Structure 1
Amino acid sequence: LVKSRFVEMFGDGQWKRTALSEVADIQGGLTKSGKRDLLPLKLPYLRVANVLRGTLYLDEVLEIGLTAAECEKNLLVEGDLLFVEGNGSADQIGRCAVWDGSIAPCVHQNHLIRVRFDERVLPVYALAYFNAHDGREQIVARAVNTSGLFTLSTGKVKALQMPLPPLPLQQKFADFVNNVDKSRFNLLKAYGSIIALFRVLFP
Structure 2
Amino acid sequence: MKGRSALRQKDLIDDGPYAVYGASGIIGSMSTFQNGARYVAVVKDGAGVGRANLCSARTSVLGTMQALIPTEMVLPEYLLHLIRAMRLGDGFSGSTIPHIYFKDYGQRLVRYVSMADQERIVGMLGSIEDQIDILHQQNERLDTLVKSRFVEMFGGMKYESVPMGHLVAEIVAGTNVGGKQRPLLKGEYGVLKISAVTKGVFDASQYKVVEDVSSIKMVHPRKGDLLFSRANTSEMVGATAIVDKDCACLFLPDKLWRIDPTDEVNTVFLKALLSSSRMRREISNASTGSSGSMQNISMTKFRSLPAFLPPLALQQEFAAFVAEVDKSRFNLLKTYGSIIALFRVLFP
TM category (shorter chain) comes to 0.7 to 0.9
Q: Quote the offset at 1:181 in angstroms.
A: 0.8
Change (3 A) 1:148 1:138: same
- Residue 27, structure 1, aligned to residue 172, structure 2: yes
Within 1, Cα distance between the matches of 2:273 and 2:248? 27
Indicate which of 300, 308, 317 corresponds to 1:172: 317
Q: Does 1:109 align with 2:256?
A: no
Establish whether residue 127 from structure 1 lines up as the match of residue 271 from structure 2: yes
- Determine which structure has greater relative contact order: mean sequence separation of CA pairs < 8 Å that are 6+ residues apart, divided by chain length: 1
Secondary structure of the residue that 1:25 maps to in structure 2?
strand
Q: Which is further off, 20-29 or 106-115?
A: 20-29
Pick closer, same or farther for the CA change 1:188–1:46 going to 2, 3 Å.
closer
CA distance in 2, matches of 1:192, 1:8: 33
User: Equivalent residue for 2:237?
Assistant: 93
Cα deviation, residue 128, structure 1: 0.9
Residue-by-residue CA offset, 1:112-162 (whole Å, 9 max, x unaligned) = 122111211111111111111221121011011324332112222222232
Determine if contact 1:76/1:108 at 8 Å carries over to the other structure. Answer: yes
Question: In 2 relative to 1, CA 117–193 (structure 1 residues): closer, same or farther, beyond 3 Å?
Answer: closer
Q: Distance in 1 between matches of 2:249 and 2:336?
A: 33
Letter in 2 for 1:76: P
Q: Report the Cα offset of residue 188 of structure 1.
A: 5.3
Q: CA deviation at 1:26?
A: 1.0
CA contact (8 A) 1:13 1:163 kept: no
Distance 1:101 1:156 in 2: 30
CA contact (8 A) 2:221 2:246 kept: no
Query: Is 1:20–1:161's contact at 8 Å kept on the other side of the alignment?
Result: yes
Separation in structure 2 between the aligned mates of residue 191 and residue 140 of structure 1, nearest angstrom: 32
What is the aligned-residue identity percentage? 36
- Partners in 1 of 2:197 and 2:155 — Cα distance? 26
- Report the counterpart of residue 48 of structure 1 in structure 2: 194
Q: Which amino acid aligns with 1:70?
A: K
SS at match of 1:62: strand
Q: 1:77 to 1:20 in 2, by over 3 A?
A: farther
Task: After superposing the two structures, state which structure 1 stretch, 185-194 or 45-54, moved more.
Answer: 185-194
Q: Is the 8 A contact 2:220 2:247 kept in 1?
A: no
Paired residue total: 186
CA shift, 1:13, in A, is 4.7
How has the CA–CA distance of structure 1 residues 186 and 90 changed in structure 2, closer, same or farther, with 3 Å as cutoff?
same
Equivalent-residue separation in structure 1 for 2:327 and 2:170 (angstroms)? 30
Amino acid at match of 2:313: P
C-alpha separation in 1, matches of 2:334 and 2:305: 39
From the superposition, tell whether residues 85 and 16 of structure 1 become closer, same or farther in structure 2 (CA, over 3 Å): same
User: Is 1:182 aligned to residue 327 of structure 2?
Assistant: yes
Q: Indicate whether 1:4 and 2:148 are aligned.
A: yes
Q: CA deviation at 1:191?
A: 8.0
- In 1, the alpha carbon distance for the partners of 2:312 and 2:159 equals 12
Name structure 2 gaps, 5 residues minimum. 1-144, 180-186, 340-348
Q: Provide the C-alpha distance between the structure 2 equivalents of 1:47 and 1:192, rounded to a whole number of angstroms.
A: 22
Q: Find the aligned partners of 2:220 and 2:243 in 1 and give their Cα distance.
A: 11
Q: Is the counterpart of residue 136 in structure 1 residue 283 in structure 2?
A: no
More helix by share: 1
Contact map agreement 1:28 1:154 (CA 8 A) in 2:
no
Structure 1 pair 75/191, CA: closer, same or farther in 2 (3 Å)? closer
Amino acid at match of 2:152: E
